[in-house]
Chains A and B, each alone.
Chain A
């Protein structure tokens, strides 16, 4: 099974800050990685697919990059509505999610 290691597990940042989350796969997953946002009590929402493609309707302050085993998710300017937990997910072989990163406002 492919393992996904996501870090940090939580972070606190100010409105307007740049926020970066990383995700490392236990083996080469090429570009087959998505990022999701989940707010409390809600279903996850797709933000990024194929490592760097923005899903429909998602603000451009969200970006993704990487390939192979190392991936990065960035919020260029943190907004109050971005408070949520973010998950990476690989789909190279079956499906695996990272452990999540809880983003809070400082």
Chain B
């Protein structure tokens, strides 16, 4: 079965960067898109961007353009989300999700806390 396993919780200071990983199994990694979605405490879901598992093509939400980088390592069957210039408002649970249009399978989430 499809599994997306994310890295553990992070605590970062304002201005720092964070890199979250998402390791995939149970499907052909290069045949599917992986999305990154975040959820601040008590808030809705917010799409950040995607990466094509095959050619590595990326697309980002305009809100995060310039601060977010999504990469993948096909040999490791993993995708990565890097968010820079962190501020308190970036405190959230970050999810990876597999899917083209809709998001069929989700990781367990990674809590990133930004605090001085």
Residues of A within 8 A of B (CB): 1, 32, 34, 36, 38, 43-46, 49-50, 55, 87, 89, 91, 94-100
Contact = CB atoms under 8 A, between A and B. Distances in A.
Contacts, number: 53
A97 B101 contact: no
B59 A89 contact: no
A97 B44 contact: yes
B106 A49 contact: no
B108 A32 contact: no
Interface of B: 35, 37, 44-47, 50, 59, 61-62, 95, 97, 99, 101-104, 106-109
Contact of B45 (A46, A55, A87, A94): A87
B33 to A, nearest CB: 11
A32 B109 CA distance: 25
